[in-house]
Chains A and B, each alone.
Chain A
């Protein structure tokens, strides 16, 4: 999530909200947000992993959400999907480009 922390101001300038989602209970997600210095919420999809499952990112073998970023427009339509398990920098970079294309 570090990339989003660093790029946060650029998302704010585009009137875009970021939410990080993991299967952690909310106090753990909250503590992680604090340690990162994140100015956006990290929310816990716990204990039923409902959101991770609804977005088809839940890994049944590892019991965690996969590293997938969705860009959703103001009408609730998915406009970009960044499904990249290794290159973490791509998530914030590609999401920002997608938001720019939306709001441009």
Chain B
């Protein structure tokens, strides 16, 4: 069951596309963020 509208989004840390730096939720404070989960690279959707 995914999180619900009105919930606080959990903090997250992900490695960026260079593999060298982290991307966190706080990086996007003040503007909207779309977090789109999908199954695997090179699959549909």
Chain A interface residues toward B at CB < 8 A: 1, 4, 11, 14-24, 26-33, 35, 41-45, 50-52, 54-57, 62, 64-81, 83, 88, 91, 95, 99, 102-103
Contacts and interface: CB of A to CB of B under 8 A. Distances in A.
- Please report whether the interface of chain B is mostly helix, strand, loop or mixed according to DSSP: loop
Q: Which bucket holds chain B's interface residue count?
A: 35 or more
Contact of A41 (B1, B16, B29, B45): B16
B25 to A, nearest CB: 6
B40 A22 contact: yes
Interface of B: 1-17, 19, 23, 25, 28-42, 44-45
B14 A51 contact: yes
